[in-house]
Amino acid sequence: MKYFHNAFFCLEDAIEPDLQGLLVEAGKVVRIIRQGEKTDPAWEHIDLKGGFAWPGFIDAHTHSFSGGLYADGIDLSQCADLDELLSLLFAASQRDSELVIGWRFDENLIPEQRFPTVKELDAVCPNSRLLLRRVDGHSCVLNSKARKAIPGLNSSEELLTGPENDLAVNWLQDNCSAETILNAYHNAAQKALEGGFVTLHTMIGDAEMSNQHFALIRDRLTEFKAGFVLYPQSFNLDSALELGASRIGGCILADGSIGSRTAALTQSYADSPSRGRLYQSDEFWCSFIRSAHEKGLQTCVHCIGDAAIRQINNAYAALESSEVRALRHQLIHCELTPEPLLDEIAASGAVPVMQPAFDLLWGGKNGLYQQRLGGRHLQMNRFGSFARKGVNICSSSDWYVTDLNIAMSIFALTNHHQPSERLSPGEAIRSYTQNNAWLSHEENSRGKLREGMIADISVTDTDFTKAFAWEAACVTRVIRSGNTVYEA
């Protein structure tokens, strides 16, 4: 037996001061030891060194393959200007790699306020395929070698958005070896643990009809230090069922993103006459969602603008609400939600799966949301409003889009730019533990530190139930099924 002790333990969503330790056997908590109770010296005593021990944190929505792949690429988020960006890409191209990836690029953060041209990319990287992705993943540019390699890419535009962006990214990532794919998931697992997460929900598929390497990862789940909950990310219901999946989707797209002005709005953008666009018709979504529902598949659809959210929620609302609640159909991102739409979601039984760091990075006065939406930026990422309506809030990073960093995420939830949308520390912790375990129908085995539950524990040096500086917080240990899988 293993006895984890010398920590401040949070069994559900609050620190329990009289708790002395947890006794674990065969990967499960078998006994909660209170202060004053005797312990057995024969137990394996594991000292948590005065840290704060939480139920193992779970991230409900990640692009783990992309994130793991990009871990070997070039992070462009800190580029000062185009010259620095091109210099970094040139240096990467000298490694004799088949594919050079630049990611997390935000054109709004450099003086030129634009993407590099194909000509500029060709000059620094003529011999390898080069993919440069916008931070939100909904726009990209390629060099000529990459453009010519992709069958069916006929766009005359250098900046690829919508279906052309998806075609380019998915083709380049589809053409990776099994070794590269597995390495990407090992990278992702390591990033998860470093960020404090025991489990990641992750999509595998091209958001069309291919589920890519789903079977490869499904059959090797025990090889990874972190847990993965797999989503076949396609519209191929038969394939999902053949793969043994109980859900479908993830970032199958109802619309795009605010940053790329492709999120579908009911009113035009504040800085553009565009309203974005819906990627599919109402009839398409009603048919697809009903078919998935009838096959018992939990359905998960990317929808960011209010027009797209309403479109998907209406398809859920056409079903029996008790059945929607039972399957826990998801509204991925669910960002722009005026008051009536909040009520419609609460009535349908759908689950918002949201990203706290989006508000931290792009919310507030003069932030990206206000630039794009004007006064409607106050209707973005409404965690507090959903909580007051009794809606289960499930939280995630959307990694690679934002970091796998539980301290940053909890801080973002409790310090939302709109005070009315802040969660209490307990609610914030629940949104990454109990609620995310519930989302994957594992509420009876994960998400709490209770007797009979799996012993997944995230340990930090910081108390998230009080005010804290997230940049200074550290993950000190991660325990999965009673075994230490990460120690700082």
Q: What is the pLDDT of residue 314?
A: 98
Contact indicator for 131, 169 with CB cutoff of 8 Å: yes
**119-174, pLDDT tens digit by residue?**
999 999 999 999 999 999 999 999 999 999 999 999 999 999 989 998 999 899 88
208 and 167 within one domain: no
**22-54, pLDDT tens digit by residue?**
999 999 999 999 999 999 999 999 999 999 999
460 and 442 within one domain: no
Q: Which domain holds residue 47?
A: 1-55+450-475
143 and 127 within one domain: yes
Q: What is the pLDDT of residue 188?
A: 98
Burial status of residue 145 (CB atoms within 10 A of its CB: 0-12, 13-18, 19 or more): middle
Chain center to CA of 477: 22
Among residues 174, 209, 237, the one where a domain terminates is: 174
* Residue given tokens 């209770």 in the structure block: 450
Q: Does 96 score more than 80 pLDDT?
A: no
Whole-number percent of the chain with pLDDT over 90: 95
Residues ≥6 apart with Cβ < 8 Å to 351? 328, 329, 330, 331, 391, 392, 394, 439
Domain assignment present for residue 486? The answer is no
What total of structural domains would you count in the chain? 3
Domain assignment present for residue 61? The answer is no
pLDDT classification of 283: cutoffs 50, 70, 90: very high
Radius of gyration in angstroms for the set of CA atoms belonging to the chain, rounded to a whole number = 22
pLDDT, average across residues 345-371: 97
155 and 222 within one domain: no
Contact indicator for 326, 438 with CB cutoff of 8 Å: no
Q: Name the 3-class secondary structure at 23.
A: strand
458 and 440 within one domain: no
What's the first-to-final CA gap in the chain, in angstroms?
A: 23
Domain assignment present for residue 285? The answer is yes
Residues ≥6 apart with Cβ < 8 Å to 193? 225, 226, 475, 478, 485, 486
133 and 26 within one domain: no
Tokens at residue 208, please? 């069309």
Residues ≥6 apart with Cβ < 8 Å to 222? none
Q: What are phi and psi of 90, to 5 degrees?
A: -60, -45
78 and 120 within one domain: yes
Q: What is the CATH number of the domain that holds 467?
A: 2.30.40.10
Residues ≥6 apart with Cβ < 8 Å to 305? 255, 258, 263, 264, 265, 266, 276, 335, 336
Domain assignment present for residue 484? The answer is no
Domain assignment present for residue 62? The answer is no
Q: What angle do CA 64, 257, 323 make, to 5 degrees?
A: 70
**408-450, pLDDT tens digit by residue?**
999 999 999 999 999 999 999 999 999 999 999 999 999 999 9
> Rounded mean pLDDT of the chain?
96
pLDDT, average across residues 301-315: 98
Q: What is the pLDDT of residue 98?
A: 80
Domain assignment present for residue 483? The answer is no
Q: Does 313 score more than 90 pLDDT?
A: yes
pLDDT, average across residues 371-381: 98
Q: What is the pLDDT of residue 170?
A: 87
Q: Does 97 score more than 80 pLDDT?
A: no
124-to-84, 203, 438 alpha-carbon distances in Å: 12, 32, 48
Q: Where are the beta strands (DSSP E) in 393-449?
A: 394-395
- The DSSP annotation for 295-313 comes to TT-EEEEEE-SHHHHHHHH
Among residues 449, 466, 483, the one where a domain terminates is: 449
120 and 96 within one domain: yes
CA atoms in the 13 A half-sphere facing the CB of 106: 14
Contact indicator for 116, 158 with CB cutoff of 8 Å: no
Q: What angle do CA 397, 68, 102 make, to 5 degrees?
A: 90
Contact indicator for 168, 159 with CB cutoff of 8 Å: no
Domain assignment present for residue 481? The answer is no
Q: What is the CATH number of the domain that holds 226?
A: 3.20.20.140
Q: What is the CATH number of the domain that holds 74?
A: 3.10.310.70
DSSP annotation of 116 reads: P
Q: Where are the beta strands (DSSP E) in 135-253?
A: 139-142, 160-161, 197-204, 227-232, 247-253
Contact indicator for 198, 56 with CB cutoff of 8 Å: yes
101 and 19 within one domain: no
Give the Cα separation of 355 and 398 in Å (integer).
Answer: 7
454 and 444 within one domain: no
pLDDT, average across residues 279-294: 98
Indicate the helix (H) or strand (E) that contains 125: none
15 and 82 within one domain: no
Which range (68-72, 115-119, 279-283, 476-480) has the least confidence? 68-72
228 and 169 within one domain: no
Q: What is the pLDDT of residue 175?
A: 86
Domain assignment present for residue 485? The answer is no
Give the Cα separation of 145 and 127 in Å (integer).
Answer: 7
Nearest of 254, 176, 255 to residue 217 by alpha carbon: 176
